[in-house]
Amino acid sequence: MTTSAILEDVFRWRRDVRHFRPEPVAEATLDELLQVASMAPSVGLSEPWRFMRVDSPTRRDAVRGIFARSQADALAERESEDAAAYARLKLAGLDDAPHHIAVFSVEDPIQGRGLGRRTMPETTVWSTVMAIHTFWLAAAARGIGVGWVSILEPEAVRQALESPASWRFIAYLCVGYPSERHDTPELERLGWEQRQSACREWVRR
Ligand SMILES: Cc1cc2nc3c(=O)[nH]c(=O)nc-3n(C[C@H](O)[C@H](O)[C@H](O)COP(=O)(O)O)c2cc1C
């Protein structure tokens, strides 16, 4: 297989994973994923991402509680038919994923000396998202699943994890070996949403 074919295969089979097998990922492999994620581009070379392993059962329980509350609020806001479809979705693997990783972005990092952020300060967050995506792809290439959980109250998560006030909460990742392998998103398989072709056409001016 050519390098581009291998890469495209990783893109095609990378999924948001919500169903995990219980066995843990080797510590050396998790460290490797973090090293690969750190190769992501960042505005001004600021490397604003902060990956936090959440191992404490008490803290994990706190995050599960925040997720449950956010889910209940999201459900309450939906019309009955839509709410029923929403309630059938599994939107996190918080109970079965062997590893939990919270990702933060330093709001105003010294590193990078402000380069590239004067007019677009949000570029630090975008850099952190690129590191998350790099982590996600590196994991997929090793047969490891990642599920991004955003149905959370950011300030509540920050407090539960006692992260510094200058770190903005970006993502909560469930990580482990997937119990199923698919080349289509779960939300598509469950009839919630479908991939569109819009990005396959150029917008021209
Ligand atoms: C910023 C972001 C937040 C997301 N939050 C959630 C979430 O809270 N729960 C969930 O089940 N999936 C979440 N996802 C995963 C998306 O639902 C998923 O990427 C999309 O359905 C496409 O599926 P795929 O990643 O398998 O291609 C999130 C993805 C992104 C990029």
pLDDT at residue 25 in the model: 98
Q: Which of 105, 146, 150 to mutate to test the pocket of ligand 1 (most atoms within 8 A of CB)?
A: 150
SS3 68: helix
Q: What is the mean pLDDT of the chain?
A: 96
pLDDT over 90 at 54, yes or no: yes
pLDDT exceeding 90 applies to what percent of the chain? 94
pLDDT at residue 200 in the model: 79
pLDDT at residue 201 in the model: 81
Architecture in CATH for domain 15-189 = 3-Layer(aba) Sandwich (3.40)
Greatest CA separation for the chain = 54
Break the chain into its structural domains and give their ranges: 15-189
pLDDT at residue 81 in the model: 86
- Mean pLDDT, rounded, for 109-119: 97
pLDDT over 90 at 149, yes or no: yes
DSSP for residue 201: S
SS3 40: coil
pLDDT exceeding 70 applies to what percent of the chain? 100
Q: Which of 148, 169, 172, 181 to mutate to test the pocket of ligand 1 (most atoms within 8 A of CB)?
A: 148
DSSP for residue 108: S
Protein residues with CB under 6 Å of any ligand 1 atom? 15-16, 18, 91-92, 148-151, 185, 187
pLDDT at residue 179 in the model: 97
